[in-house]
Amino acid sequence: MVCLRTAAKLCSGRPVCIPRGGRCVMRERKHGEGPGDDILIAQLRDRMHMVAAGVPRPAPRRCSAPPLVASCRCPRPMPWLVRRLFPLLATVGLVAIGMASTTWWGPHLVGKSAWSLPHDLWGTLVAARRLLHLDLSGLYTRPTALVTLPGAAVILVPVAAIIDAAGLPLRVPGAQNPHPGVWLVAGPYVIALSAVALFAADAIAEHLGVARPKRALLAASGAVALWSVSVRWGHPEDAVAVGLLLFAILALSRSRAGRSAWLIGAAVAVQPLVLLALPFVVVVVEPRRLAGFLTRAAAPSALLLGAAAWANWQATFNAVTSQPNSPAVNHPTPWTSLVPQMSNGAVAAGPARALAILVACGCALAVGRRWRAARHTAEWDSQTLQELLWWAAVALALRTVFEPVMVAYYLWPVLAVALITASRSWLPLIATSIAAVALTLASQSLWRGPWSWWAPMVAGLGLTLFFARVPPRNRASPAALPASHCFALPHR
């Protein structure tokens, strides 16, 4: 059997062209042989005979595509700034619009003089400042209101250090503090930090061979959806966790299981909502590597949570297990009356979130059989990667289905992942983008009934997932090749 290394030598070890959808997509060879190699044996043997007979090799930096595909010249790899131009522009635009809308024209539109700021961010900033001063016992005590894992405070430690050095007070915005200078420092940092999800989405789209115009629309619509979680509500931990999850799935698709496990571990330590997608990742990990994978994935959370629990066990245990939320402040759902009630009118969201994770595990067991072949490949084909991403979006949507109290930014993780799976062609991408933008704006409404807000939002997420669905695999098609394998075929 001839491996891809031989094919790479025939093209002088340079990046070569892979025919995808009637066009040439440039890829760099990253891995060795895979199960898709055998379909090239006949043509590779012919080329090897030509080399053995003394037939000159093709000109340097020139590669040939299969019949019916025009030859193309292999360019040099593009700089990182060029490759990530669209998420970079989207980030700059989101920072500029976010800061202007919160401090300038946003308050004027609603007739207020005070800035329109995400109040939730201040509690996490207080936790980050306490962590900066090694006050672990105060992570889960007032006024932090922290209910996630300590990683949410860790990612804000750099900006907390700048605020501390500048001597800026962390007073909550209000009538006595209408224009807090802290926001001028923390705002750009939080928005730019949240944009890691945009860069992860663009990296996956590039890996899938998505054309640059579609990637531009992906970045633009992704930035609009990201506005809710970063600018409006001030929860960068959600965006960072989903971005790390996406990078982890991309690494696993390239057979980098160790890197993928550490990235997932970091994501869980920042925001454990990504545990909903973890079962779908686990089913494609080789059984012999599963123990090591899960150990690495659990290590960051165990370390951070263990340190916080050692410093203040009672406060840490109560916050992490109960995860209180107030239906009087946010949106109640039909599940509100069925979950444990807490003091001050709050309810415990922890049990419902655990139920959502159990349902996600059942779904992964039911659909994971189709991806077993990916365990033994050097790199997944694009169909497998898209299918797993779509099911990860479905798993993240389970949170909204079972959540007893909803907040508008809870919808964002589903929208962010669904946009990636829809980027394969224009019609699904446009439909999903419209649905994502509409849901982002509609979710900011103040409807208070347990059905009036929750039911339309869940239905909207279902419609978005329908638009972003991945077409069934065509078993008669030879396109089941890895998304970024690189090989050359003789041009006859």
* DSSP state string for 272-320: GGGGGTHHHHHTTS-HHHHHHHHHHHHHHHHHHHHHHHHH-HHHHHHHH
Backbone angles phi, psi at 405, to 5 degrees: -135, 125
Distance CA(351)–CA(314), nearest Å, equals 18
Q: Report the range of poorest mean pLDDT among 8-12, 130-134, 197-201, 421-425.
A: 8-12
442 vs 17 pLDDT, higher one: 442
Largest CA distance in the chain: 86
- Please determine, for residue 340, whether its predicted confidence score (pLDDT) is greater than 80: yes
Residue 100 and residue 60 share a domain: no
Instruction: Name residue 45's amino acid.
Output: R
Instruction: Name residue 344's amino acid.
Output: N
- Please determine, for residue 35, whether its predicted confidence score (pLDDT) is greater than 70: no
Instruction: Name residue 48's amino acid.
Output: M
Residue 309 and residue 172 share a domain: yes
Q: Is residue 348 part of a domain?
A: yes
- Please determine, for residue 307, whether its predicted confidence score (pLDDT) is greater than 80: yes
Q: Is residue 263 part of a domain?
A: yes
Residue 174 and residue 70 share a domain: no
**If 0-12 CB within 10 Å is exposed, 13-18 middle and 19+ buried, where does residue 308 land?**
buried
Distance CA(145)–CA(167), nearest Å, equals 23
Domain with 38 in it: 4-77
Residue 160 and residue 37 share a domain: no
Q: How many CA atoms lie within 13 A of 179 on its CB side?
A: 5
Residue 255 and residue 275 share a domain: yes
- pLDDT, the chain, mean: 83
Instruction: Name residue 308's amino acid.
Output: A
Whose structure tokens read 């980098």?
256
Taking residues 288-306, what's their average pLDDT? Answer: 95
- Please determine, for residue 175, whether its predicted confidence score (pLDDT) is greater than 90: no
Distance CA(10)–CA(64), nearest Å, equals 10
Distance CA(264)–CA(252), nearest Å, equals 10
Residue 67 and residue 87 share a domain: no
Residue 133 and residue 218 share a domain: yes
pLDDT for 374: 64
State the pLDDT confidence band at 29, using cuts at 50, 70 and 90: very low
Last residue of a domain, one of 30, 56, 77: 77
Structural domains in the chain (count): 2
- Using one digit for the tens of pLDDT, what is the confidence trace for 260-285? 999 999 999 999 999 999 999 999 99
Q: Is residue 433 part of a domain?
A: yes
Backbone angles phi, psi at 208, to 5 degrees: -80, -5
- Please determine, for residue 28, whether its predicted confidence score (pLDDT) is greater than 60: no
Instruction: Name residue 144's amino acid.
Output: T
- Using one digit for the tens of pLDDT, what is the confidence trace for 234-266? 999 999 999 999 999 999 999 899 999 999 999
- Please determine, for residue 301, whether its predicted confidence score (pLDDT) is greater than 80: yes
* C-beta of residue 209 within 8 angstroms of C-beta of residue 20: yes
Q: Is residue 488 part of a domain?
A: no
Residue 303 and residue 263 share a domain: yes
Q: Report the range of poorest mean pLDDT among 297-306, 336-345, 435-444.
A: 336-345
* C-beta of residue 85 within 8 angstroms of C-beta of residue 199: no
Query: Is the N-terminal amide bond of 143 cis, ω within 30° of 0?
Result: yes
Residue 220 and residue 360 share a domain: yes
State the pLDDT confidence band at 475, using cuts at 50, 70 and 90: low
* C-beta of residue 220 within 8 angstroms of C-beta of residue 436: no
Q: Is residue 474 part of a domain?
A: no
State the pLDDT confidence band at 368, using cuts at 50, 70 and 90: confident
Q: Is residue 50 part of a domain?
A: yes
The b/e string for 203-225 (b: 16+ C-beta within 10 A; e otherwise) is bbbbbbbbeeebbbbbbbbbbbb
Q: Report the range of poorest mean pLDDT among 28-37, 170-179, 270-279, 439-448.
A: 28-37
Taking residues 449-467, what's their average pLDDT? Answer: 94
Distance CA(479)–CA(469), nearest Å, equals 19
pLDDT for 113: 82
pLDDT for 26: 42
Taking residues 125-137, what's their average pLDDT? Answer: 95
Cα-Cα end-to-end distance for the chain: 22
Residue 196 and residue 61 share a domain: no
- Please determine, for residue 455, whether its predicted confidence score (pLDDT) is greater than 90: yes
Q: Is residue 490 part of a domain?
A: no
Distance CA(282)–CA(484), nearest Å, equals 22
**DSSP SS3 for 332:** strand
| Beta bridge partners of residue 62, listed in sequence order | 73
Q: Is residue 481 part of a domain?
A: no
CB atoms within 10 A of CB 442: 15
Taking residues 13-35, what's their average pLDDT? Answer: 41
Distance CA(453)–CA(407), nearest Å, equals 10
Instruction: Name residue 95's amino acid.
Output: V
Residue 423 and residue 305 share a domain: yes
Last residue of a domain, one of 43, 61, 77: 77
Residue 136 and residue 43 share a domain: no
Instruction: Name residue 245's amino acid.
Output: L
- Using one digit for the tens of pLDDT, what is the confidence trace for 47-105? 444 444 554 555 444 444 444 444 445 567 789 899 999 999 999 999 999 999 999 88
pLDDT for 54: 53
Tokens of 215: 């990637």
